[in-house]
Every structure is written in C-alpha cells, then in structure tokens.
C-alpha cells in the first residue's frame, strides 16, 4: 500500500511539472494565401498572419516562426483560420524565437479569389 501511495504521489508531481506555462495561450490566427520572402536568422519565407476576428488587409504581420503540424498542410492560394497554442519559451537561444506555435486545429480553409 505504501508503494502505491508513493507511486501515485510521484505521478501527480510528474503531471504538475509537465503542465504548460501560465503564459501559454490558445489563439486564433488568420494566415494569408501566400508566404513572402523575409529575413530572420537567414533568408526564408514567412507567413502573413493576424490575430483578429475579421481580416483587415492593412493589419498583416510577418510570422518568422514555423507552425508545428501546420507547415505540412499549408497550401498557397488558400486563406486559413487556425487555432494555435502559443507557447512562451522561457530561455530561448540567442538566435531563436521566444515563442513556439503548435496547430490546435484548422477552423477554415477558403480559396483566395
């Protein structure tokens, strides 16, 4: 019985230590239909994104980071509305991002006309 209590306590502590950071958030992003050339750590292509309820053509921002589990799904020519988990990285490398984006789900995918 004592071993079971110790094991249960260890599992609870492990679960608490693996929980997400308080600054993590789930947000909705619009992703534009084309990636554009940009320079971050090196020359690359960036998503144009915005966190708003409706698309404002004057409000696109460059996202220099990848979006885990979305990069493989992205198709040029479609505007996406996606839900992502935005994770704050506490001690990022000097040349790295302080944020990590993970796809939660694709809300919509519409052909850009």
Q: What is the pLDDT of residues 34-80, one digit of tens each?
A: 999 998 778 899 999 999 999 999 999 999 999 999 999 999 999 99
For position 9, what pLDDT does the model report?
Answer: 42
Question: Above 90 in pLDDT, residue 96?
Answer: no
- What is the token pair recorded at 82? 């996606």
The closest of 43, 35, 93 to 62, measured between CA atoms, is 35
The C-alpha atoms of residue 3 and residue 25 are separated, in whole angstroms, by: 37
Helix (H, G, I), strand (E, B) or coil at 6: helix
Question: Above 50 in pLDDT, residue 11?
Answer: no
Beta-carbon neighbour count of residue 85 at 10 Å? 15
Are 83 and 105 in contact by the 8 Å Cβ rule? The answer is: yes
Percentage of the chain exceeding pLDDT 70? 79
């Amino acid at each position: 019985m004592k071993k079971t209590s110790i094991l249960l306590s260890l599992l609870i502590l492990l679960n608490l230590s693996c929980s997400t950071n308080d600054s993590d958030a789930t947000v909705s992003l619009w992703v534009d239909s084309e990636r554009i050339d940009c320079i971050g750590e090196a020359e690359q292509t960036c998503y144009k994104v915005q966190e708003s309820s409706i698309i404002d053509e004057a409000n696109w921002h460059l996202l220099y980071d990848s979006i885990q589990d979305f990069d493989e799904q992205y198709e040029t020519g479609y505007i996406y509305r996606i839900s992502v988990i935005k994770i704050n990285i506490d001690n990022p490398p000097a040349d790295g991002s302080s944020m990590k984006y993970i796809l939660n789900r694709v809300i919509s995918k519409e052909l850009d006309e």
